[in-house]
Structure 1
Amino acid sequence: MNVTRRGFLALSAAGTVAAPALLSVSGRALAQSKPIRVGYIADYFGTSLTAIADDQGLWAKHGLEPELKVFTNGPIQIQALGAGSLDFGYVGPGALWLPASGKAKIVAMNALGLSDRVIAQAGIATMADLKGKKIGVPEGTSGDMLLRLALAKAGMQLSDVEVVKMDPSTVVSAFASRQVDGAGIWYPLVGVIKKTVPDLVEVAKSADFYPANSFPSAFVARNEVAEQDRETVMKYVAVLKEANDYRAADVPRSVEITAKFLGVPADPLITESQNGKFLTSAEFVAATRDGSVASWLKGLNDQFVSFGKLQNPLDPKDYYLGDLYSGG
């Protein structure tokens, strides 16, 4: 899941109270706790572990006092990391080309997104049926990635369809008004579209390509913090691991906690939570040690190269601190 994809709260929960721009843990931090600045994105994937850590008092438990800042996307957080105004952040799969280009270090994986879809208007049943048709897609997102994978699987190229680049909210309105024949987009936005176009057809989904092609989201650290303050990084990772296992053990409860934290209705978060694969920390450790995480990241790198985002991406071992996460 990526960055620009997070406009869904405005679409799905119009009129609700927006997430505050700046939050901090109060009444929990110990005097000797280390102050850190942590970014998050206001949706389930981008907030749940931060919300759980806040709800369960995990920051103080692990000796941290966070200043929590909400962002609309991953690239802006990477910019903040580079400017020195943020220590840690969250990015979806569409923004992972930035760590792969040396802009930040991945300190932990978050979840595997299975929410992406290639959808089409009624009467279009397969990717082949989309040949020559207009397809709306937010460029460089996981929806774009899935579209390319689905075309290749069908023996087609991007030039076989008419790609119309647009932001996520425009995809929703364009598809609903039948200005496009198809779209590369994700849940919960697909659910929003279905309210207007209930007979839309899902011609491809991200689960069709798992695990060979995965869409992981991750937590990142400022390069200087990763290189010069491993103790703080380890504390942050410890918080993430504990929150991650809480979520994996009780996703419905984690949705409630996240909705309360964000001040939004739970329904769109429930939909989002149902379209992800949530591994335990032990499973992430195993996936790190057996090379699965590196494989996910290399798969994304290949796609970023094909997008023209990267020419020579770093090897995952150079930007994912897997040894730190797995304990050696």
Structure 2
Amino acid sequence: DAMLAGDIDISYSQGLVPFINAVKSNAPLKLVDIAMEYGMGGTTCVTSNASGITKANASELEGKKVAVPLGTMAEYVFDESMKVVGADRNKMEIIQMDPEEGAAAIVSGDVVMACLFGGNSIKSALTVGTRLLTVQEARDAGILGIDITSVTDKFMKENPGMLRTFIEVTHEANARYADGKSDLNVIAKDAEMALADMKDTIGGFKFLNARETKKSMESGNLAGFLKGMNTPDGAVDTSFLPL
């Protein structure tokens, strides 16, 4: 919404699902880079221990209140997780809640499950609950998260040099992290997380180099995701990658 209103020009680490929903509605946006791929360490669904609901009896979610931030990668994870455990989302009372609200709701007992993203929200929910699927179980089921960098068509056409520099700087930062040269204390401070929690969260991210990014965008994980969600053609532009 902020991009379409002209308030921002570039969105870094944007959830892929919101981008797809936007371009399906003819929003003038382009996907120009992959911020990261990640397992379900940073996006997951947590069931309350008090409910007694696990993947083994997940059909008991039906008829219960569930918190989901709709239109986000967490909703995608929710949908895919329900397919794995054999529960029908249409029979649940789904309540739109941002991750912080969802975490608070599961802690207070107002919902039996909360689907969340963000290390702090997940950590809070896990004080009273358990992941419906472990990170490994989600990975084995093919549930993968992808955050992207998108830009408005107008900004891309008017400021190609600035956009190219932005993406180059991003990949330089990724390379520093891969080489163990990033200042993790600064990252933790900026994320408003304890250092150990930040390390645990970022450890689940995969930062692709430019060649890996291009492959993913054209024929790999990202391309498959876009095709699977019937994304309109022409939504991706790889020409700004620092190859």
Q: Structure 2 length as normaliser, TM-score?
A: 0.80
Give the structure, 1 or 2, with the largest relative contact order (CA under 8 Å, sep 6 or more): 2
One-letter amino acid of the counterpart of residue 111, structure 1 = M
Out of 55, 61, 64, which is 1:130 matched to?
A: 61
Distance 1:276 1:150, change over 3 A: same
Instruction: Please say which structure displays the higher CA radius of gyration.
Output: 1
CA distance in 2, matches of 1:290, 1:235: 25
Contiguous gaps of at least 5 residues in structure 2: none
Cα drift, residue 205 of structure 1: 5.1
Out of 207, 226, 230, which is 1:278 matched to?
A: 207
The percent of aligned pairs where both chains have the same amino acid is 18
Out of 105, 111, 117, which is 1:174 matched to?
A: 105
Q: Secondary structure at the match of 1:217?
A: strand
Distance 1:99 1:250, change over 3 A: farther
For residues 246-303 of structure 1, what are the alpha-carbon distances to aligned partners after superposition, in whole Å with 9 as ceiling and x for unaligned?
Answer: 223338x35323235567653443342133222233322332343432223334x35x
- The aligned residue for residue 240 of structure 1 is 170
One-letter amino acid of the counterpart of residue 193, structure 1 = A
Q: Secondary structure at the match of 1:279?
A: coil
Q: Secondary structure at the match of 1:325?
A: coil
> Once superposed, what is the RMSD of the aligned Cα atoms?
2.8
Out of 11, 18, 21, which is 1:89 matched to?
A: 11
Cα drift, residue 191 of structure 1: 0.8
Distance 1:247 1:99, change over 3 A: farther
Q: Structure 1 length as normaliser, TM-score?
A: 0.61
One-letter amino acid of the counterpart of residue 118, structure 1 = C
CA distance in 1, matches of 2:193, 2:43: 23
For residues 138-169 of structure 1, what are the alpha-carbon distances to aligned partners after superposition, in whole Å with 9 as ceiling and x for unaligned?
Answer: 22222221111111223332123221222222
The ranges of structure 1 where at least 4 consecutive aligned residues each deviate by more than 6 angstroms after the TM superposition are none
CA distance in 2, matches of 1:268, 1:99: 34
For residues 291-316 of structure 1, what are the alpha-carbon distances to aligned partners after superposition, in whole Å with 9 as ceiling and x for unaligned?
Answer: 432223334x35xxxxxxxxxx422x
**Number of residue equivalences:** 232
Task: Check conservation: 1:213, 1:296, Cα contact below 8 A.
Answer: no
CA distance in 2, matches of 1:264, 1:191: 11
Out of 222, 235, 238, which is 1:319 matched to?
A: 235
